[in-house]
Each structure stands twice: as structure tokens, then as C-alpha cells.
Chain A
């Protein structure tokens, strides 16, 4: 035990003795880990955001299209659709977009009869009575609603309407609720001036996921002017928007680069004559082969573990405090679509362990293995020049 502590102590001394080389390796290595971990954190965070969204998405959405454009759908379509075998429920959804000229931002206005999922992330309560509202963190920040408890929006007849803020969305999923304003269904209809008896679309519940495709086809047959969108199709769209697949590709690419750099570095440097001599001296004065290898092991572990941890911390800060601004340019899409939204920290221990494994193990191996040959040879070589 004491012996190992002493060897660790000597390993640290040795690293400090070669401080420029050690520092160069550490810096290059941390940077690579930062890049790699940023990609992982970013894609994972986006993936998690997507999952949040998908939780709230109904099995099937039925829209009405006219001339290829999304139109309001008559509420009485619901009766026949709801009667199709396999459909367990159907409800009309009232929502739309609102451009706020004052803050130059787009909000999503949603009727409270709508999404069940985001409602779990609410402080306060959803609107129940006319004139009440629940708003997302982004909207609240832009309009100071958290403080005033009020929100004024201009309706389709160009009249300002005052809403009381009864709930604020927490930021567990910013992407989902950031630009959200929830009103009662009645207020939405009135605000946008929907014709009576029409909704934005239908949310259809289908417990048996294998039936979704057939039911979608039946709806299309029943009402040719509708467009049923399955959850699967939506997921695919989100995936493409976030480009997380390309992110994974990038990850693999980075991993390959890391491996390559380590190998190249190792080939380029190998063991210097000085290092070989030092190993010989240590052996001659009573260090065992195992002691020398332990020394190199600790040197490698200290460097790679430090690089790994600092790389991870840098990546975490980069992604979750600075929204991955460096990588955002690479993984396009989300930053363009959602310029103001802030990523929620999401952490996958498995990824982190994998990363740790792939950074620490090869490096330690690449420091110990070249030493091996020098360490097992007889130390009498130090007796000559």
C-alpha cells in the first residue's frame, strides 16, 4: 500500500518534471474529449427533448387539408371517426400561432383541452375559466408575466385581450413549452375567431399500435379531405430536424480521430533514449519490472483520467450553459428553428462510462505497452554509455 502511494507520488513528480510534454498531451486530449462529449451530450439532450414531446403526442392526428394547406376541421367529423373499431377516444384540439410584433417572437397558443404531457411540468394550474392562461418560460421571460401575473395579446379583431397568468411551465422541457401560451378552448376559438363547430385538428387515441395504419387508411377513405398523421411519422420528422443521427455519425468519427491521434502520437514519440535510460536506472537500483510498469500505469491513468474529467466538465458547460454554440454550427437544424431555446441538462451515465472506457483504457495501454519491452530487459545496459 505504502509502496503504491510512493509510486503514485513518483508518477506525479515525473509528469511535472516533463511538464510541457504532459501539459501538451493533456490539453490536446481534453479538447478531443470535450468535442466528443459535446456531441454526445447535445444529441442526448435533443433526444430527450424529443422524447418529452413525443410523450404528449397522440397516436394519430387528423388534420384537414384544402389545396395542400392545413385547414380547420369540422368537429362533427369526430363522431364517425370515433366509431371506427380500435379507436378508444377522439378529441378536438384548438391551437394556432401568434406573432407578437412587440417582442418579434412567435408563440404557440393552445387550448387547455389539449396536450396532457406538458401539464405535468406546471407550477400553478391550467386555465379553467375564461381569461386565464398558463405560459412557458420563454414567454414569461419576454413579457415579464411571472412578475405581473398578466399577459396581453392582440386578437384576430385587433383588440388587446388581458389574460391572468395562473400557471407557469417549469423548464424540464424548454423546447416543448418555451413559446407556449395555454388558454381555455373557448378563449382560443374566440381569440382566433374560429368559425363555430370547427377545431384545429383531432387527437385520436388508438391503444393497439398495430392498428394505427389501418385506422389511418379508413379515416382517409371516410373523409378524403383529411390527412391522418401517425406518431411514427412525427418522430421521424423530429429526428431529422434534430439531426441526431448525423450527430451519432460525428461521434463515431471523433472516436476514430481520437484513436488515430493517440496511435500517431505514440508511434511518433515511442520511448525516448532518456526514458529508456531512466527505466534501466530504476531497475538497476532495485525497482522490479512490475514497479516500473505500475509507474507508467499511474502516469497514463493520471493523464487520461484528468483529460477525461476536464473534457467532460468542459463539454457539459459548453452544451448546457452555452447551448453548444460551437457544435450548433455542425449539427444544423435545431438552432435555426429554435433560436432562443435553452437545452435542459440530460445525462446518460452509460454514454459517460463508455466515453471513459474509450479514452482511459487505450491511453493507459499506449503508455504501458511500449514500456514493457524496456522494463523486461536486463538492466545491465545502463552500465555502458
Chain B
């Protein structure tokens, strides 16, 4: 059984309104444990919509999504939150860090709603920061960091709750090639630890990276091809 199974999924944004938009149309695919899957396709082809659904951030209009065998489509909101919290780590295109908070505070954020003590939280966060070699900047505010440093903080925040699956949307859009390489190196480490990685990107650098084990091509909201390496 695959880790993620998407079955005939459609997504209509703003249904019934003037700006109604069918972003996904009958998409089916599967992602195995340990995969490094890349979603490719031109802008507007539905990549972001698809990984939002996979990451349990929204529900499909039609179709089924199973995470680790569990159908998540009809789950009540707080169970979805729980799945997001326990299984997924997100890296957003704009990083979406809170600019006036420090590095450490940002990385702690996903742990606030858990019943872990402040001490444990801090230890966990510091360990991750250390691993990503950004612990020297832990007390700096995000707005004082360079793009590459922000990227690492974003990754640290995605990893702090020990997710099974890392979801990244256009992660290299704001990075130069050296930082992009560094990013892939970090992902490689994560993958070696057994994490599944899903990246939506139209950056050829990622698409051709040897780490990638599966390429899923999208066009106009439909699945164009799915290639396993």
C-alpha cells in the first residue's frame, strides 16, 4: 500500500462564484514511502492545489485521498489538523516565517499546540537548528537574515515535529544555484533518514536532480505523466 494515494481528485476553487476555477480534474497518483516525488508543470497547472490537498490543508471537491491508508477527505477539521501536525512538514515558496520573531521562536511555533514542556520543545528545536547549522543565529529576528538563512529556518520549522512527509512548494524560487544545491543536500539527508519528500517545482535543477525518484507532470489540472526512476 502506497503512503499517499490520490484517486480521481478534482478541486474547484470558489465554487458558484464569478471566479470559479477548476484547478484539478480527475487526478490519480500514488507516492511510496521514501519517494522523492517532484510535481512539474507550467504555472497554473495545479501543482500547488494538488500538494495542498495531499498536505491536508484543504479538501478536494471530488475524489479520495488516503494518507497511510486512512481516507482523509471526510475527516473532521481537528483530525486533519492532527494529521498535518504529526505527518507533514511544509516549506512554502515565500517561507512564511514570522518576521518579527526570532529564529528559535519561529522553529518552536509548530510545537506550541502540543502538550510537550517548554524545555523539551526548546531542546528539540535547538537540535534541529544545530543540524542545519543555523543555531548561531537562533536569537536573530527573521527580518535580519539573508534569503539562504531564512530558507534553513523554514526547513528547520518543517522538520521540528519530526514529520514523515516533507512537502515543499517552489522551494528554490528565491534561491541562487549554490543555495539550491544546499537545499537539495539537506533534503538528501532527510530522505536518508526515511522521510518521504514531495516537491512542486518548475525548476529544472530540481527536476533533473539524481535524488528524485518519481516525476509527476501536470498540465491544465490533469495528470500528464508519472515516471518512476
Contacts and interface: CB of A to CB of B under 8 A. Distances in A.
Interface string B60-81: 0000000000000000011001
A110 to B, nearest CB: 68
Interface in A343-385: 376, 378-380, 382-385
Please tell me the size bucket of the interface on A.
20 to 34
Interface of A: 1-3, 6-7, 9-10, 13, 17, 277-278, 280-291, 376, 378-380, 382-385
Q: Which 9 pairs from chain A and chain B are nearest by CB? A: A286-B85, A380-B52, A380-B58, A380-B57, A378-B58, A285-B110, A291-B113, A288-B81, A17-B100
A383 B113 contact: no
A300 to B, nearest CB: 18
A290 B112 CA distance: 13
Contact of B101 (A1, A3, A17, A285): A17
A288 B78 CA distance: 6
Given A379-B57, A380-B52, A289 B90 contact: no
Interface string B86-109: 100010111010101100010001
Contacts, number: 84
A144 to B, nearest CB: 62
B227 to A, nearest CB: 25
A285 B161 CA distance: 9
B81 A283 contact: yes
Contacts of A13: 101, 105
Given A13-B105, A286-B84, A384-B48, A7 B94 contact: no
10 contacts: A2-B117, A3-B114, A3-B115, A6-B113, A285-B109, A286-B81, A290-B78, A376-B77, A378-B58, A383-B52
A296 to B, nearest CB: 14
B118 interface: yes
A277 B100 contact: no
A382 B113 contact: no
A286 B117 contact: no
Nearest to B121: A6
A378 B57 CA distance: 6
A285 B117 contact: no
A241 to B, nearest CB: 56
Nearest to A295: B112
Nearest to B90: A284
Contacts of A281: 96, 98, 109
